[in-house]
């Protein structure tokens, strides 16, 4: 198998604390790659700021482009160690000139998107970086670039696996190694990663019958499981409990692939892991809902399609208590409307084809003149504003918490035919949405391949899809590269409500080189979940010009939320009648 690697390490970024092991960690990974047989400089490229060098994203892009345009490789490994930030639930790897230079960073989410179409059979990203929100306006304006070409060499996607040193919103620790000199520091995650890749830790090996006389192989799925256990074990061993909060995360698509090979002689006389036993067939009826809701514990059940760490259990339970209870009216005479809790509505505006009436400061009655779904602009009393779709026959329920648009749900009106089939599952669905919203907020809502279809079925009842769940699920399916399911959901939603949500079209790759028109009935005209913004460029979406003006005004929020200064820009755009 032809393999290549790109290894990036940046100790100093802007005025952030200088790291001591990022560049050195990248060099150790580079040395591992050479030992793996990637000896040619074109196969194993090292980019660090050691010796005062600057790491430029364009150099990284050019190196990857050369690999793609060359003889070709079967696997490409991209490793980064350094500072990272989470902007709108999307990672940016900060390089030497960031954050002063907004483009001096790597847009990881967009790069992953393009890597799928690069023609390389298997791409693996390793990120030993923080995934925390930016600590300044300057850092929040870092855009970064995609380091893969945007020319879709392949028509079909190839698997891209992602390994993270920590969960979204968390920090990746660089800790003092007690066995080393006082000035020597070691990154926890890279240390554990190299122990598996170089030494072939038993738990990281693919549990398969011996067939290769010379080598044992570190698999992607086994490496994921190994790191999830090994990093916390090292935290305990170094007596850092309570000082370091680091739980590795991973999205593994190619679970049968390998990333490293270790000489078999190293394991002579050692019992190898046994092949996994095939699990018994599971009942497909309400698997995810039962796993999340049963026994009053909605926190997790990894075997049933969703995995939440112990640290999130309290947050999930609190979210269920806060979000799930019914609030506000259950219908409007007009057939649809919006209700808000946690903030007061100060102003409201609708696109052409809809009229709105503000009832107090928490309710909006919406009348749709012709279209089945239109965008509504709301300004809140906390100096923020948002755009949400009004859907005929539904009430949009918005929850604002700690200045963030934490949850958006759509509930059938009691006067609509959907209500009869909805009310029997009302409590379950409210709790399910609360759990998924919390898991998405913290970056832990991942599905596995075996349960993707199960969740799709769970979100369909009485021949109708819950629009909110379809959005959450679409992002989970996108991580799995299951655009076929996203396309099916989008088609069903359009046939059911007469419109489709922007996020489903984006994630289903249906907006490539497309200009949105009102008659397309795609609402709104930008992503509803903030993490979708990082994918616009990679999907070559022909954005409305106003998006470039309002994107810098986005707030840190799960659902897209803007500073109130964006209200007039959005109002002017929506009044022109060229968006739904």
Backbone CA torsion sign across 379, 140, 475, 310: negative
Q: Can the peptide bond before residue 54 be classed as cis, meaning omega within 30 degrees of 0?
A: no
What is the band of 370 on the pLDDT scale with cuts at 50, 70, 90? confident
Q: Which of 2-11, 236-245, 275-284, 436-445 has the highest mean pLDDT?
A: 2-11
Asked whether residue 290 carries a pLDDT value surpassing 50, the answer given is no
pLDDT over threshold 70, residue 317: no
| Complete edge-to-edge strand list for the sheet that includes strand 44-48 | 44-48, 3-9, 75-82, 122-129, 160-164, 249-251
Are 341 and 399 in contact, with CB atoms under 8 Å apart? Answer: yes
Higher pLDDT residue, 186 or 535? 535
Q: Is the pLDDT of residue 297 over 70?
A: no
Domain architecture of the chain: domains with CATH: 3-174+246-261 (3.40.50.1460), 287-575 (no CATH)
Model confidence pLDDT, tens digit, residues 93-151: 999 999 999 999 999 999 999 999 999 999 999 999 988 888 776 778 899 999 999 98
DSSP state for residue 157 in the 8-state scheme: -
Torsion angle of the four alpha carbons 282, 286, 287, 291, in this order, in degrees rounded to the nearest 10 = -140
Residues 255 and 220: beta-carbon distance below 8 Å: yes
Q: What is the pLDDT of residue 353?
A: 87
The pLDDT of 163-192, averaged and rounded, is 71
pLDDT category at 562 given cuts 50, 70, 90 is very high
Q: Could you report the per-residue pLDDT of 227-286, keeping only the tens digit for each?
A: 999 999 998 888 877 777 678 999 999 999 999 999 887 654 454 444 443 333 333 333
Q: Are strands 258-263 and 174-176 parallel, antiparallel or unpaired?
A: unpaired
Written as one string, the DSSP assignment of 254-294 is: -TT-EEEEEEGGGGTTSPPPPPPPPPPP---TTHHHHHHHG
Residue 80, by phi and psi: left (phi above 0), alpha (psi -120 to 50) or beta?
beta
- Nearest by Cα to 342 from 256, 435, 285, 406: 406
What value, to the nearest 5°, has the Cα angle with vertex 219 and ends 450 and 171? 85
Q: Of 143 and 442, which is predicted with more confidence?
A: 143
The pLDDT of residue 439: 72
Q: What is the pTM of this model?
A: 0.88
What are 549's two structure tokens?
């003006």
């Amino acid at each position: 198998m032809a393999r290549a690697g790109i290894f990036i390490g940046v100790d100093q970024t802007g005025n952030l604390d200088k790291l001591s092991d990022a560049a050195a960690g990248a060099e150790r990974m580079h040395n591992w790659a050479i030992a793996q047989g990637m000896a040619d400089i074109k196969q194993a490229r090292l980019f660090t700021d050691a010796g005062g060098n600057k790491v430029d994203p364009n150099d990284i892009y050019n190196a990857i482009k050369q690999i793609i345009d060359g003889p070709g490789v079967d696997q490409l490994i991209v490793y980064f160690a350094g500072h990272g930030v989470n902007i709108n639930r999307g990672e940016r790897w900060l390089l030497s000139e960031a954050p002063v230079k907004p483009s001096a960073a790597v847009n990881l989410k967009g790069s992953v998107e393009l890597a799928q179409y690069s023609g390389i059979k298997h791409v693996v990203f390793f990120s030993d970086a923080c995934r925390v929100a930016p600590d300044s306006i300057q850092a929040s304006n870092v855009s970064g670039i995609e380091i893969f070409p945007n020319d879709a060499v392949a028509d079909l996607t190839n698997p891209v696996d992602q390994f993270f040193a920590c969960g979204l919103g968390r920090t990746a620790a660089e800790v003092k190694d007690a066995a080393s000199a006082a000035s020597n520091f070691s990154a926890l995650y890279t240390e554990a990663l190299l122990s598996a890749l170089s030494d072939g830790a038993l738990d990281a090996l693919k549990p398969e019958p011996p067939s290769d006389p010379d080598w044992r192989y570190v698999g992607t799925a086994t490496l994921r499981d190994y790191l999830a256990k090994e990093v916390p074990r090292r935290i305990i061993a170094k007596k850092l409990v309570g000082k370091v909060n680091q739980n590795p995360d991973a999205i593994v698509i190619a679970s049968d692939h390998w990333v490293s090979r270790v000489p078999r002689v190293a394991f002579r006389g050692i019992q190898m892991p046994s092949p996994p036993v095939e699990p018994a067939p599971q009942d497909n009826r309400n698997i995810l809902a039962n796993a999340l809701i049963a026994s009053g514990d909605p926190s997790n059940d990894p075997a049933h399609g969703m995995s939440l760490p112990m640290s999130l259990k309290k947050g999930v339970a609190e979210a269920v208590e806060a979000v799930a209870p019914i609030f506000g009216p259950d219908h409007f005479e007009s057939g649809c409307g919006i209700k808000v809790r946690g903030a007061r509505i100060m102003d409201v505006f609708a696109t052409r084809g809809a009229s709105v009436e503000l009832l107090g400061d928490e309710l909006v009655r919406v009348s749709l003149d012709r279209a089945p779904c239109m965008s509504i602009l709301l300004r809140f009393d906390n100096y923020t504003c948002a755009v949400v779709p009004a859907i005929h026959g539904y009430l949009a329920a918005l929850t604002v918490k700690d200045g963030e648009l934490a949850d958006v749900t759509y509930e059938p009106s009691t006067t609509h035919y959907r209500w009869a089939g909805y009310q029997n599952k009302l409590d379950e669905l409210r709790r399910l949405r609360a759990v998924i919203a919390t898991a998405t907020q913290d970056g832990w809502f991942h599905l596995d391949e075996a349960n993707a279809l199960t969740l799709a079925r769970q979100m369909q009842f009485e021949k109708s899809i819950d629009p909110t769940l379809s959005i959450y699920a679409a992002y989970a399916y996108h991580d799995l590269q299951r655009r076929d399911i996203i396309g099916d959901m989008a088609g069903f939603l359009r046939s059911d409500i007469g419109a489709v949500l922007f996020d489903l079209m984006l994630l289903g790759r249906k907006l490539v080189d497309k200009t949105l028109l009102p008659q397309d009935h795609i609402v709104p005209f930008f992503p509803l979940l903030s993490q979708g913004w990082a994918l616009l460029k990679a999907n070559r979406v022909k954005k409305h010009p106003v998006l470039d003006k309002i994107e810098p005004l986005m707030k840190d929020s799960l659902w897209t939320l803007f500073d109130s200064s964006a209200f007039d820009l959005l109002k002017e755009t929506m009044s022109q009648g060229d968006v739904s």
